[in-house]
Amino acid sequence: MWVAFILGGITVSKLLDKFIFNTKFHFNALMFSIGIILLLLSFYISSKTGKLLKRFGKEGNVPRFQTNKLIREGIYSCMRHPMHLGLMLMPFSIAFLMNSISYMLIIVPVTAILMFVLIKTIEEPEAIKKFGDEYIKYMKEVPMFNLSLSCLKKLFQ
């Protein structure tokens, strides 16, 4: 699904840049460097949070990419969806790598809104079904996303 979002976003932004914004791709070392840093950060956050899920989110024999235990340790103590934070950085990184105004102004916000909607309409109801009242309590105590410095520090511990 992510590959489709990325390729679709690149295609749409190229067309918008050319026909609406009347711009062409010009390599910019600063923008490219920012894009690489954001891409590496996206991979790091997604990887680290995935490893936490794998390590602490399972009890017993559970299929790969599945959890059966709610994690409230580390970054999950202050943010319910840290992996999605990492994934949301990816469109930003692509916008910088492509040096594309339309990707930054149109594709990134659309992708972020779409992710938020998918989390609220699919992922959180599934978590409530799986973990019940424990997850409802967790939702009341811990925000979906938290960009406070104290919370973000937990990503790098």
Please say if the pLDDT value at position 97 is more than 70.
yes
Q: Whole-model pTM?
A: 0.83
pLDDT averaged over every residue in the chain: 90
pLDDT exceeds 80 at position 5: no
> What is the CATH code for 2-156?
1.20.120
Q: State yes or no: pLDDT of 2 exceeds 70.
A: no
CA-to-CA distance for 154 and 44, rounded, in angstroms?
13
CA 9 → CA 31, 46, 144, 147, distances in Å?
18, 20, 25, 26
